[in-house]
Chains A and B, each alone.
Chain A
Amino acid sequence: MTEAKALALSKKSGTSSSGKNALNTEKANEITKVLTFLIGEQVYGIEIPYIIEIIGVPTITQVPCYEIPSFIKGIINVRSKVVPIVNVRACFGKPEIDYNERTCTIIVAHEGVSVGLIVDEVLDVSSVTERHLARTPELNQVNNNKFIDYILEMNDGVKLVLDVQKLIFDHDLAY
């Protein structure tokens, strides 16, 4: 039963990697859970299995190398691990704002590579069921943001779930 749902999800989101992660869920009608956060007015989400932790904005050490794009802010120390930091606003081509007390760093990891994502504000965790999945067969044509994996239509609004794989490995998709 769960597998069928996951299949439905992966069909809708094209060749996404999220389908596999969605398999590990217990509740029959829940496909996955996403952590939601704000960039400007828009709600985005990242599937829970990718998330390592959420911290504030630590001291960032810039890496002075002209090849590094400006959305990569530098490196931070997370318990003796050196983690690169990406400003999601800059990555999506939105104007950067000053960090405030609500600014958070979400540390995600995929295939052994971890990255800290700076977001405006972390909201909560939403449980995703099949009926939330928006029917957007040609996602990339309706939305210019290539990092979006699939879209959720929930009671409290539309949430764009990000493809962490692309976020970490496809630097060229950034603005």
Chain B
Amino acid sequence: MANIDPGMAAMLDAYLFESSTLLEQLDEILLRTEEAATFTEDDINEIFRIMHTIKGSSAMMGFESLQQLSHKGEDMFFLIRENSIEDTSFIYDLVFRMSDLFKEEIDLIQGEEYNPTDFSDIIKQLEEGAERLAGKVSGAPEPVAAVAAPAAAVASAAVVDSDSITVIVHFEPGIEMENLRAFLLLNKIMEETEVSDSFPKDVDSDPSTAAEIANNGFRVTFKAEDRESVVKLLEVSLNIDNYEFIENPGDLAAANAAAVSPAVETPTAQSSAPTPAKSTAAVSPPPANAANAGAPHAAPAKQSIISVNLAKLDQLHDIVGEIITTESMVISNPELEGLQLESFHKAARDLRKLTDELQDTVMSIRMVPLSGPFSKMNRIVRDMKKALGKDVELIIEGESTEVDKSIVDNLNDPLMHLVRNCMDHGIETTSEERVALGKPEKAFIKLAAVNASGEVVITISDDGKGIDHDRVLDKAERLGLLMKPRGDYSEREAQNLITMPGFSTNEEVTEYSGRGVGMDVVKQNIEKCGGTILVESKIGAGTVFTIKIPLTLAIIDGMEIEVGGTIFTIPISMIRQSFKVTEDQIIRDTQRGEMIMIRGECYPIMRLHEKFNIMSEVTNFEDGILILVETENKSVCLFSDKLIGEQQVVVKPFPAYFSRYNIKGAGLSGCTIMGDGSIALIIDVTNLIEN
């Protein structure tokens, strides 16, 4: 951030926060309006306000490039607002791109060294977009243009710029697969020049266009200045019978009008729909898709909310932790022992009640709904839908479920990976394929969250192909990832192999997913915030990813135990039971392994003092106590000196000084400060017993 005025540095945080919030709002509005296929007046005003605010604050911060960019965006929406233009379908990609560039730029600003990006490309495109809008406005009253070119204006997004040119290519008669040939040709032309339009559309996915091309030819509109290179290209291309150029927009319009096919009629109808369509389009607040017509939809962002730096909240949280610790130091101070202190104890009880309340409030401040990361998925699904040509609906449920801010931040990437995986690999490639399987044409991806006893369960499900566990096993075998004989893997275990590092069932790397790190990273990120992930899938029916995460990282219910003078805390959620044993209950195998039989099941015993190499006087099972702990895959009895009691503890990570040592691998996840000021170590049961 070298080129930012030091006086401005303090405001930078606020600027970055505000701009990213506004951009997210912009995305939400755009997604909603695109679906509804129309802008309401409120939408336009809201977008206009967003662009205007970004423009203003960018100018204030001295980010000239961002200011220019938002200015162009504002211009475009100004035109839409002032002229109530109905058909705005073509601007979405443009505005989404602008919003993406904005976000990238904002990320860059946060980086070490910031050099403004050159936005001239997108600015030019925005200008063109604005011209197109302006062209429509001025063109509309002219009866000739309006009558002659209604289809052209809509179907081809009104390419009437004088500097573009259209070529109609006729393939050799009877050649067949005209649509695919046209698609290949189009790609080649795109390499040469900027193609603004082509007709028929969807040649790659819609075989029915073949007939249309055979009869009327394939039409491509591009920049006139590149005419020569395209001619060269056409000359060397195979199977082309002849081609002709149309330079007069009028001719084009006529040609278009002549060629009106069902595919073009739909948008025509939509654009010419009278104003009432506007009021019927439900205005729904993101991310809930409930209809909320008439209400101002900025509602989710406009509650009486202030934004606070997370560091301050952490600080507040630390102080509350300190107060609670200090409070118990005061109340159970040894100097008070034996004194008659009736009113003191009453006051102490009141104090405890208040500090408890204080702690709850501070915790609740840190809780944020999952709607943030969830609604981001809307955008991903939208973009991938377009790129992959799949018809998918994203269903979101339970987005109001709240979790700790630090956890939400860790969830964004895993969710994105999973949704992309569903889109890319999960859902069948074409809707024909789906129909053939007896599934509805439109696939769905469902994101759901529920709060279940101290945990939040997030499921990401699709009704796609499912995971073929045989293929997973094949691949795992090939990659040498199998830990036991292939036959020993249950279907479910096999499916969960996909979360192993370096595993990706898709042979090819695609733009969106399948770099072979995806699922591995997902698992790591989720484990980082204390969660687990499970895959469940049925071939042909779909896949369900279940993520379980704790509500908060900061406070856990723990069981305090002592081992040779060191206090450990085991999360209560991992403990099945604790019990005393007699020597004759212990089973010893030949390798000095010790086990115990409980209700017909045999559990290994882990002596904590040996595991942690602590000198303890309690080495006899009869003197200590066994604690049965359980993870997804394994159950073990831990042997400790004694139980101290159950307590809610504030989890603190180990100091950064220890980061080079693998403490987690040793079975410790953090530490906590006890009422008497001493430190207890928190046992990471999963790492302790599974490694």
Q: Do A and B bind each other?
A: yes
Whether A61 contacts B321 in the complex (CB less than 8 A), given A75-B655, A113-B656, comes out as no
User: B677 to chain A: which residues have CB within 8 Å?
Assistant: 77
For A104, what are the chain B residues with a Cβ–Cβ distance below 8 Å?
A: none
Q: Report the Cα distance A62→B668, complex, angstroms.
A: 12
Q: Please name the 5 residue pairs, one residue from A and one from B, whose CB atoms are nearest each other, closest first.
A: A64-B612, A65-B666, A61-B679, A80-B322, A67-B661
Q: Please tell me if the beta carbons of A64 and B668 are within 8 angstroms of each other in the complex.
A: yes
Which B residue's beta carbon lies closest to that of A171? B660
Residue A90 lies at the interface, judged by CB distance under 8 Å to chain B: no
- Contact between chains at B661 and A82 (CB < 8 Å): no
Give the contacts of A151-173 with B (CB-CB under 8 A).
Answer: 168, 171
Q: Quick check: is B607 within 8 A (CB to CB) of the other chain?
A: no
The answer on a CB contact under 8 Å between B661 and A168 is: no
Q: Which of A65-98 contact B (CB under 8 A)?
A: 65-68, 72, 75-77, 79-80, 82-84
B268 contacts partner chain A, Cβ-Cβ < 8 Å: no
Instruction: Write out the residue numbers on chain A whose beta carbons fall within 8 Å of the beta carbon of B652.
Output: 82
* Given A64-B666, A68-B658, A112-B656, also A80-B566 (CB < 8 A): no
Q: Does A63 contact B (CB under 8 A)?
A: yes
B318 an interface residue at 8 Å Cβ cutoff?
A: yes
A114 to B655, CA, bound (A): 8
Residue in A59, A67, A77, A115 whose CB lies within 8 Å of B657: A115
Q: Closest approach, in angstroms, between the C-beta of B180 and any C-beta of chain A? A: 60
Nearest-CB distance from B678 to chain A (Å)? 6
CB contact between B678 and one of A77, A84, A168 (< 8 Å): that residue:
A77
Which residues of A sit under 8 angstroms from B662, Cβ to Cβ?
65, 67
Q: A66-B613, A67-B661 are in contact. Are A84 and B668 (CB under 8 A)?
A: no
Chain B contact residues, majority secondary structure? mixed
Report chain B residues within 8 Å CB of A75: 654-655, 671, 679
Let me know if B681 is at the binding interface, CB within 8 A: yes
Shortest Cβ gap from B660 to chain A (Å): 7
- Would A63 and B654 count as touching, CB distance under 8 A? yes
Within 8 A of A (CB), among B630-669: 652, 654-658, 660-663, 665-666, 668
Partner of A66, one of B325, B614, B655, B666: B666
A-B contact pairs, 5 of them (CB 8 A): A64-B566, A65-B661, A65-B665, A67-B662, A114-B655
Question: Taking CB as reference atom, which chain B residue is nearest A74?
Answer: B679
**Contact, CB under 8 Å: B666 / A82:** no
| Contact digits for A98-118, partner B, Cβ 8 Å, 1 yes 0 no | 000000000000001111000
| A contact residues around B95 at 8 Å (CB) | none
Are B666 and A76 in contact, CB atoms less than 8 angstroms apart? no
Query: Which B residues contact A (CB, under 8 angstroms)?
Result: 318, 321-322, 325, 566-567, 612-614, 652, 654-658, 660-663, 665-666, 668, 671, 673, 677-681
Whether the Cβ atoms of A82 and B673 lie closer than 8 Å is: yes
Interface size class of A (residues with CB under 8 A): 20 to 34
User: Which of B656, B658, B665, B673 is in CB contact (< 8 Å) with A63?
Assistant: B658
CB contacts (< 8 Å) of A76 on chain B: these are: 679
How many Å from the CB of A137 to the closest CB on chain B? 32
Contact of A82 among B567, B655, B665 (CB under 8 A): B655
Query: A114–B663 Cα gap in the complex (Å)?
Result: 18
Partner of B663, one of A63, A80, A113: A63
CB contacts (< 8 Å) of A83 on chain B: these are 655
CB closest residue in chain B, given A80: B322
Given A64-B666, A65-B663, A80 and B318 touching (CB < 8 A)?
A: yes
Q: How far is the CB of A117 from chain B (nearest CB, A)?
A: 12
A residues near B666, Cβ cutoff 8 Å: 64-67
A80 to B679, CA, bound (A): 10
Taken together as a complex, chains A and B put the C-alpha atoms of A113 and B658 apart, in Å, by 10
B675 CB to nearest chain A CB (Å): 11
Chain A residues contacting B656 (CB-CB under 8 Å) are: 112-113
| Interfacial chain B residues near A65, Cβ < 8 Å | 661-663, 665-666, 668
Report the minimum CB–CB distance from A130 to chain B (whole Å).
Answer: 33
Q: Of the candidates B318, B658, B681, which one forms a contact with A61 in the assembled complex, judged by CB atoms under 8 Å apart?
A: B681
Shortest CB-to-CB span from B669 to chain A, Å, is 12
Query: What residue of chain A has the Cβ atom nearest to residue B326's Cβ?
Result: A80
Q: Name A62's closest neighbour in chain B (CB-CB).
A: B566
Task: Tell me if B655 and A80 are in contact (CB < 8 A).
Answer: no
Write the A29-72 contact mask toward B (1 if CB under 8 angstroms, else 0): 00000000000000000000000000000010111111110001
Closest to B322 in A: A80
**A82: B residues at CB distance < 8 A:** 652, 654-655, 671, 673, 679
CA distance A175 to B665 in the complex (A): 25
Per the bound structure, the CA–CA distance linking A72 and B655 in Å amounts to: 12
A61-B567, A65-B662, A80-B325 given. 5 additional CB < 8 A pairs?
Answer: A64-B666, A68-B663, A75-B655, A77-B677, A82-B671
Instruction: Answer whether A84 and B658 are a contact pair too, CB < 8 Å, given A77-B678, A77-B679.
Output: yes
Cα-based distance from A81 to B613 in the complex (angstroms):
26
Contact flag A63-B657 (CB < 8 Å), given A75-B671, A80-B318, A82-B652: no
A63 touching B668, Cβ below 8 Å: yes
Complex interface: chain A residues within 8 A of B663 (CB): 63, 65, 67-68
Give Cα A112–Cα B659 distance, bound, in whole angstroms.
14
Complex Cα distance, B171 from A26, in Å, reads 87
Complex partner residue of B614 from A64, A79, A84, CB under 8 angstroms: A64
Shortest Cβ gap from B326 to chain A (Å): 9
Q: B673: which A residues are within 8 A, CB to CB?
A: 77, 80, 82
User: Once bound together, how far apart are the Cα atoms of A82 and B321, in whole Å?
Assistant: 13
Interfacial chain B residues near A114, Cβ < 8 Å: 655, 657
CB distance from B45 to the nearest CB of A (A): 46
Does the CB pair A84–B681 fall under 8 Å? no
Chain A residues with CB under 8 A of B680: 61
A65 to B566, CA, bound (A): 14
- Is there contact, CB below 8 Å, between A79 and B322? yes
Give which listed residue, A61, A66, A72, contacts B566 with CB less than 8 A. Answer: A61
Instruction: Report the separation of the CA atoms of residues A108 and B325 in the bound assembly, to the nearest whole angstrom.
Output: 24
Distance, CA A80 to CA B662, complexed state (A): 23
Report the bound CA distance from A92 to B629 in whole Å: 42
Residue of A nearest to B670 (CB): A82
Contact of B661 among A68, A80, A112 (CB under 8 A): A68
Asked if B657 and A84 make an inter-chain contact with CB atoms under 8 angstroms apart, the answer reads yes
Closest beta carbon of chain A to B304's beta carbon, Å: 32
What is the chain A residue whose CB lies nearest that of B613?
A64
Least Cβ distance of B152 to chain A in Å? Answer: 64
A41 to chain B minimum Cβ distance, whole angstroms, is 29
Distance to closest chain A CB from B248 (angstroms): 70
Closest to A68 in B: B661
Q: How far is the CA of A5 from the CA of B671 in the complex (A)?
A: 45
Q: How far is the CA of A113 from the CA of B659 in the complex (A)?
A: 11
CA of A114 to CA of B660, assembled, Å: 15
- In the complex, which residues 6-37 of chain A have their Cβ closer than 8 Å to any Cβ of chain B? none
**Distance of B321 from chain A, by nearest CB (Å):** 6
Q: A59 with B661: in contact, given A66-B666, A80-B318 (CB under 8 Å)?
A: no
Return A174 CB to nearest CB of chain B, in Å. Answer: 13
- Report chain A residues within 8 Å CB of B668: 63-65
B671 CB contacts on chain A under 8 angstroms:
61, 75, 82
Question: Which chain B residues lie closer than 8 Å to A67 at the CB level?
Answer: 661-663, 666
Q: How far does the Cβ of B213 sit from chain A's closest Cβ, in whole Å?
A: 66
Smallest beta-carbon distance A59→chain B, Å:
6
- Chain B residues with CB under 8 Å of A79's CB are 322
Q: Is the CB of B613 within 8 A of A168?
A: no
- Most B CB within 10 A of own CB, among A65, A83, A112, A171: A65
Q: Within the assembled complex, what's the spacing in Å between the Cα atoms of A68 and B658?
A: 8
Please, which residues of chain A bring their CB within 8 A of the CB of B325? Answer: 80
By a CB distance below 8 angstroms, the chain B residues around A66 are 613, 666
